[in-house]
Amino acid sequence: MHKIAIHLMQVRNRIDSAAASCGRSVDSVQLLAVSKTRPPADIRAAYAAGQHRFGENYLQEALDKQQQLADLDIEWHFIGPLQANKTRPVAEHFAWVHSVDREKIARRLSAQRPASLPPLNICLQVNLDSEASKAGVSLAELPELLDSVAELPNIRTRGLMAIPAPRTDFEHQREALEPLATALLRLRASHPALDTLSMGMSADLEAAVAAGSTMVRIGTDIFGRRD
Ligand SMILES: *Cc1c(COP(=O)(O)O)cnc(C)c1O
């Protein structure tokens, strides 16, 4: 068995037991394999092991890989920082964008989404720890951003995404993520279609599932450490 297939199985088992231990159904948590910096061969190995949803951070790298993997039926997610002058290829070549943090980006993605494709799924990225180095809207500004993007015709706002500052133990990790889950619950009162909490990486997968994640984004524990 390929080592990526073994790692994938281990990650799926971690998701299943994390879900079971807090009474959630195992299919309520989706796995996004984060393949940034990894060669197409690694993506092929994961695909052959049943993983069809991949996340990429760097636009040019992602477009190159999409070309080389055009024979596979991959659902591509853009999860990296997104500049306004780079939105068109993202609107044209991805199914999801997790890193929308301002109205201008959402407007451009909607305007540039080809009519031949279904609406682009987006998550609003929230800067939970107010870190200057990270993108994301504040929790305070989130409702206004959501209202301003919710009616855009060619995007479908699915939920929230966050990358909290690293914490080493389960309880602190869970506490750090809970405000995102609480925010989603509140926003659902006025936006019932919201169904996605994109949170949880290799180091805090279990805490993210406990806090209500519906999509964990896992790179290192599937593909190995990045250089
Ligand atoms: C790299 C990355 C991940 C994956 O992180 P790992 O710790 O390697 O699992 C998840 N989300 C985002 C936004 C990333 O940039």
Q: Using one digit for the tens of pLDDT, what is the confidence trace for 70-117?
A: 999 999 999 999 999 999 999 999 999 999 999 999 999 999 999 999
C-alpha to C-alpha distance for 147 and 144, rounded to whole angstroms: 5
Percent residues over pLDDT 90 in the chain = 98
Nearest CA to ligand 1 atom 11: 217
**Nearest ligand 1 atom, CA 34:** 4
For residues 57-75, average pLDDT: 98
Helices (H), the chain: 3-21, 40-48, 59-68, 87-93, 103-112, 142-149, 170-188, 205-211, 220-223
Indicate the residue type of 153: P
**Extents of the domains making up the chain:** 3-223
114's CB contacts (< 8 A; 6+ apart) are 91, 92
At residue 223 the predicted structure's pLDDT band, cuts being 50, 70 and 90, is very high
From 10, 34, 35, mutation site for ligand 1 pocket: most ligand atoms within 8 A of C-beta: 34
**Nearest ligand 1 atom, CA 203:** 7
pLDDT tens per residue across span 193-209 = 999 999 999 999 999 99
Q: Can you give the pLDDT at residue 1?
A: 87
Q: How many degrees, rounded to 5, is the angle at CA 199 between CA 196 and CA 205?
A: 125
Q: Is the shortest distance between the CB of 57 and ligand 1 below 6 Å? A: yes
CA distances from 42 to 3, 39, 51, 75, 226 (A): 10, 6, 11, 16, 13
Spacing, Cα 219 to ligand 1 middle (Å): 6
Q: Can you give the pLDDT at residue 227?
A: 81
Phi, psi of 76 (to 5 degrees): -95, 135
Q: What is the CATH code of the structural domain delimited by 3-223?
A: 3.20.20.10
C-alpha to C-alpha distance for 14 and 168, rounded to whole angstroms: 17
Q: What average pLDDT does the chain have?
A: 97
| Count of all residues that appear for the chain in the document | 227
